[in-house]
Chain A
Amino acid sequence: MNQRFEFKHIHTMLLSLIALLLLPACGKLSNAVEENQGGALADNAASQVYVGPGEYDEFYAFMSGGFSGQIGVHGLPSGRLLKIIPVFSVDGEKGYGFNEETKPMLNTSQGFVPWDDAHHPELSQTDGETDGRWIFINGNNTPRIARIDLSTFETAEIIEIPNSGGNHSSPFATENTEYVVAGTRFGVPYPQQDVAISSYEENFKGTLSFISVGEEGEMDVAFQVLLPAFDYDLAHSGKGKSHGWTFFTTYNTEQKTTMLEVAASQNDKDFIAAINWKKAEEYIAQGKFREMPARYAHNVYDEHTHMATSTMKDKVRVLIPSECPGLVYFLPTPKSPHGVDVDPTGEYIVGNGKLSANLTVHSFTKMIDAIERGSFEKEIAGIPVLKFEEVVGGVVEDAGLGPLHTEFDGQGNAYTSFFITSEVVKWKVGSWEVLDKASTFYSIGHLMIPGGDSKKPEGKYLVALNKITKDRYLPTGPELCHSAQLYDISGDKMKLLLDFPTMGEPHYAQGISAAKVLPRVKKFYPIEENKHPYRTLGEKDSRVERSGKDVHIYMTSIRSHFAPDNIEGVKVGDKVYIHLTNLEQDWDVPHGLAVMGANNAELLVMGGQTETLLWEPKEEGVYPFYCTDFCSALHQEMQGYIRVSPRNSDIKLSWRLGEDEEAI
């Protein structure tokens, strides 16, 4: 008997092994079949985006939540929304910014800022390829950069950008995520001070910041470059031959402060600022920086204490271009360029002049030649301006109106969004000919190809991130959803496959093969690694302690009860800290906690995690609490009471779980 089952076991193992070996071959075979059948199958958009029940999507798409301040995680090609990651805005659903542990994440030099405008997600890269470790995103309004850990899909770190206003050209990683960058959209007085707005040219500056990223992802403002007070719009770092450089677009080189829609649109050409950050590192090493006063918060969430800490920093290193030759060059670029995008080889730098009909592409090689020849048109604040005709590598003519942003498919093609004519234009890198155009519905901003801003794009799909939806979905009153559209770009012609709504305004997005992320994803937090100072590692340790007016409840949750679930001896005016440790060690079993009258939100505690709800009862009575996240057949029974007595009451603290015990 025993041996028969052993054979069966080995037999199964051998079969699975053979199946595994055959798998890639099968994939190729079925592709070939599809190609041969062409017509009928190829036109069936529904089947191309259909991901069957229980099946995984091929790609993760991380969509900026825009003015929701969050990140939306979608699957591609289905477009299904998988998770909303709270980043810069409080989120009652998850208690983010409401529980005691995450409040410090939203601390800034201006105090607690519970909202921001999140624009550009950026995946970490290794050797110029997306690596699935982290995703960064900028907070535009109160300048910040956040790092989200892709093993937990939680915000792990937020750093404020000092002496900056409107962190738009951010975060955009370098080839090995040595740095993510931040550029001020608004010129601001430097240092910040009370001056007349009309003294703009004299008192205002623009800073570009380089945020170093350590082995564990830890961020630090390594240095800033002090530039004229242009508006710095977008950025991208070089790769391959241009590794070591980062490019920032500018507008409002007119340096106006009022009625910018006209005043900042007058110059025929604005600039792309090219920063040689390797040179910057040399200057830093030589000590050629100035240490300037600054005030900015650095907030870090510790996965073991399950708590965030906020540290205020008070200085920053600044490089002045006139003191650091070779650090910065300006590349004239028509006309108020928005996106600046570097092709996978690192040679071409696309300036998407958003008020221009043409698309200007600079050549990195020509730029270096011009710099070596010292062939400059003029200098602005000690920064050489290169000659337009000496750096242009090519121009894509009459492609559309209002080019905003370009990504690449890894096959030598580029795809540019045109806002005004509401379309995606596919063109050939090098020959600059337009290959195809596809309408978008409506008013596309950025677009995204998984890995499309890296050295190794995965050029199967393109996502258009649209600003306006009008008639595309069921109306929902004056406010309609924002929307993304999915295109198949595997053939010669782009093909629209799918509309799907997104949360907030989807400015930019990043995509990555799920296979690169899945091996790192955690299922729960090992309870033995819980180092929260108020953790409760077993029901036996659950208890209530008083210290003056502070009451600390050490509570646990496991299917399907809290321990303790009856508490007496709390008084009006107490500050009650409910420290809930979820003892579960299984995937997808969070427990929630909500207390009647709490002025914050619920807790949503993952397996092995501890979170704290501060509850300040205002009136005597008996207050129910319960589990908010369905956990089991007896979830509805997962509830309890806290008795609140008058301030002068002599009722002693007591707690219990179950009928038979006086106390646990």
Chain B
Amino acid sequence: MKKYHKLIMLMAALGLMALFIFPMWRITLIAPQYPNGVNMHIWINKIGGDTPSTLQNINILNHYIGMKYIEPETIPELQYFPYIVLSMVALGIVLALRGKATGYLLWTLLLVALCAAGLYDFYLWEYDYGHNLSDTAPIKIPGMVYQPPLFGEQYLLNFLAKSYPHIGGYFVGASILFGSLAFVFKRTEHA
């Protein structure tokens, strides 16, 4: 088992490609008149939902409280995040071929750092959307902000907002796990 560290590292690197197949995060809005909920999917390179019109419907809801329109084409992160992911995949493959424990460790730590930075960036966006409301919003409730939770569930007026990782996010978690495992196996190979 332990000699398969290269393969495990390769899986860790290639696992990140799942970000191009599955959304990494999901925000669900639930209210009585939306019995099935409204699901917004955040991908590495786009924002979508259960249907092509989900984002339009979320924007229609948001405009009553003066929230900015979510326009994926104006969000720069969605433009350059894919390149960071591709770079990490390439780097991971190179390090897997080299087969050095330090390489695995550094790659994994770098991925953790990138995830942390990504989540912080996500938090900043949520803060901006939730706080930076239009002065002419039809519905204004003193003291009310509409920042969805970074992780977890919270009531925003009549909506229960749920924010959790989605399939792509689980793959990133798996990549961190596999990177760590590759490091551990390599280190204990001759022990």
Contact = CB atoms under 8 A, between A and B. Distances in A.
Say if A and B assemble together: yes
Interface of A: 1-3, 5-6, 524, 526, 558-559, 584-586, 632-634, 637
Contacts, number: 37
A41 B14 CA distance: 61
B139 interface: yes
A586 B56 CA distance: 9
Contact of A585 (B52, B139, B164): B52
Given A634-B64, A634-B138, A3 B57 contact: no
Interface stretch (B80-88, B165-173, B178-186): B165-173
A559 B57 CA distance: 10
A2 B64 contact: no
A559 B174 CA distance: 42
Interface string B110-152: 0000000000000000000000000000110000000000000
A2 B51 CA distance: 25
A637 B63 CA distance: 14
Contact of B60 (A1, A6, A526, A558): A558
Given A2-B165, A632-B60, 14 more contacts: A1-B173, A2-B169, A2-B173, A2-B174, A3-B173, A3-B177, A5-B170, A6-B173, A524-B53, A559-B60, A584-B60, A586-B53, A633-B64, A637-B138
Contact of B53 (A585, A633, A634, A637): A585
A2 B60 contact: no
A535 to B, nearest CB: 17
Contacts of A6: 170, 173
A230 to B, nearest CB: 55
A397 B165 CA distance: 73
Contacts of A5: 164-165, 170
B170 A585 contact: no
A637 B57 CA distance: 19
A525 to B, nearest CB: 11
Interface string B20-53: 0000000000000000000000000000000111
Contacts of B138: 633-634, 637
Nearest to A637: B138
A3 B52 CA distance: 29
B68 to A, nearest CB: 16
A633 B57 CA distance: 15
Contacts of B56: 585-586
Given A585-B52, A586-B57, A633 B165 contact: no
Nearest to B139: A633
Contacts of B172: 2
29 contacts: A1-B173, A2-B165, A2-B169, A2-B170, A2-B172, A2-B173, A2-B174, A3-B170, A3-B173, A3-B177, A5-B164, A5-B165, A6-B170, A6-B173, A524-B53, A526-B52, A584-B60, A585-B51, A585-B52, A585-B53, A585-B56, A585-B57, A586-B57, A586-B60, A632-B64, A633-B64, A634-B64, A634-B138, A637-B138
B59 to A, nearest CB: 10
